């Protein structure tokens, strides 16, 4: 799909990304985090802005402070409240006194930003772009680089190395589609994601990610037209994941697709199936083959094909 790979970056080092912007990769590699969470340090006239402090790791916080040196850290921006991005907020705030700015309604009840941002909110040269889907509180941050480049700190909404998990109820597939479409209408030139390397020509991958989900959704609808499925069964059919954690992630993505289809009226019933699946993540989906539903399938198939050729 045009994903990027990179060698394992050096830990605890400030890696130059673009003029005035460095990156420190946290030591939290994993199937969901690639080599680790990216923390960015952005030079401004009145000090450094940190985008995503990263996980709760004293060594990582020490690396951020060491990279800043004698330059004060005057603002902390948070793309979303997931622990691999926000865990270091408390430690970094305590060490620097810098306020934390994030979405006005954080997804975590125990987290309150010092500065609440809404879509379009401006702060220190950054513009918040509300992009729910992976997380309801997800913000991207648009920023003009030293050479005038249109940069977007894209968090976990669009990552260069992988697609994002959309896990209900916090993750919402309909929101995710809309947020991808929102970025496709923008003219950002470079994405700096929460995981993985810098991404140029970001609209190509963004379009491919959307097309991928539309194809997946088309397959889901076709399967539902044939028979009744559990989420776990459908995920096993559609994904070839051996890793247990990725298998669970695949089920969350399938569930997100079903809830989107349900919200749009395509799938009649998405019922809890807790007895059969004690992990409580499986649901059964039953589709009707009504006239409107068949028309919807046809329209979506055409749409997905068009977007795919556009992305290719």
In the complex, which residues of this chain contact Zn ion (CB under 5 A)? 84, 156, 194
Residue carrying structure tokens 């509300």? 130
Q: Cα 144 from chain centroid?
A: 21
Q: How far is the CB of 265 from Zn ion (least distance, A)?
A: 32
Q: How far is the CB of 6 from Zn ion (least distance, A)?
A: 16
Can you tell me the distance from the alpha carbon of 270 to that of 147, in angstroms, rounded to the nearest whole number?
A: 50
Q: How far is the CB of 91 from Zn ion (least distance, A)?
A: 18
Closest among 41, 43, 45 to 14, alpha carbons compared: 41
Can you tell me the distance from the alpha carbon of 150 to that of 148, in angstroms, rounded to the nearest whole number?
A: 6
State which residue, 61 or 284, has the beta carbon closest to Zn ion. 61
State which residue, 53 or 233, has the beta carbon closest to Zn ion. 53
State which residue, 36 or 233, has the beta carbon closest to Zn ion. 36
Cβ contacts of 25 within 8 Å, gap of 6 or more: 9, 10, 11, 15, 35, 36, 37, 38, 39
Q: How far is the CB of 32 from Zn ion (least distance, A)?
A: 7
State which residue, 41 or 224, has the beta carbon closest to Zn ion. 41
State which residue, 172 or 217, has the beta carbon closest to Zn ion. 172
Beta bridge partners of 50: 41, 76
State which residue, 84 or 175, has the beta carbon closest to Zn ion. 84
Angle CA 54–106–122, to nearest 5: 80
Instruction: Give the three-state DSSP class for 256.
Output: helix
Can you tell me the distance from the alpha carbon of 29 to that of 39, in angstroms, rounded to the nearest whole number?
A: 14
Cβ contacts of 112 within 8 Å, gap of 6 or more: 106
State which residue, 54 or 233, has the beta carbon closest to Zn ion. 54
Pairing mode, if any, of strands 283-287 and 229-230?
antiparallel
E-strand spans in the chain? 15-18, 21-25, 38-44, 47-51, 73-77, 100-103, 115-117, 122-123, 126-130, 139-144, 150-155, 190-193, 199-200, 229-230, 267-272, 283-287
Query: Do residues 191 and 158 make contact, with C-beta atoms less than 8 angstroms apart?
Result: yes
State which residue, 84 or 217, has the beta carbon closest to Zn ion. 84
Beta bridge partners of 151: 143, 190
């Amino acid at each position: 799909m045009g994903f990027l790979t990179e060698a394992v970056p050096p830990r605890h080092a400030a890696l130059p990304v673009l003029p005035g912007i460095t990156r420190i990769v946290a030591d939290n590699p994993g199937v969901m985090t690639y080599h680790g969470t990216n923390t960015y340090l952005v030079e401004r006239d009145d000090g450094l802005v940190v985008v995503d402090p990263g996980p709760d790791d004293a060594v990582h916080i020490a690396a951020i402070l060491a990279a800043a040196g004698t330059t004060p850290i005057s603002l902390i921006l948070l793309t979303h409240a997931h622990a691999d991005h926000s865990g270091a907020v408390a430690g970094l705030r305590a060490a620097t006194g810098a306020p934390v700015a994030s979405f006005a309604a954080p997804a975590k009840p125990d987290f309150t930003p010092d500065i609440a941002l809404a879509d379009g909110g401006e702060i220190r040269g950054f513009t918040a772009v509300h992009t729910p889907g992976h997380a309801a509180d997800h913000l991207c941050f648009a920023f003009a680089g030293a050479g005038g480049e249109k940069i977007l700190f894209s968090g976990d909404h669009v990552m260069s190395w992988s697609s994002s998990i959309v896990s209900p109820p916090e993750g919402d597939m309909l929101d995710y589609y809309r947020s991808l479409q929102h970025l496709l209408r923008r003219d950002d030139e470079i994405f700096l994601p929460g995981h993985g390397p810098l991404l140029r020509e970001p609209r190509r991958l963004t379009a491919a990610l959307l097309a991928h989900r539309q194809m997946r959704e088309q397959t889901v609808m076709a399967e539902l037209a044939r028979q009744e499925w559990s989420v776990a069964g459908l995920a096993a059919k559609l994904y070839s994941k051996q890793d247990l954690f990725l298998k669970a992630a695949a089920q969350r993505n399938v569930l997100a697709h079903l809830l989107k289809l349900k919200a749009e009226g395509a799938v009649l019933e998405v019922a809890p199936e807790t007895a059969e699946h004690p992990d409580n993540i499986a649901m059964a989906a039953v589709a009707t083959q009504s006239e409107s539903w068949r028309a919807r399938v046809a329209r979506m198939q055409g749409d997905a094909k068009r977007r795919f050729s556009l992305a290719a």
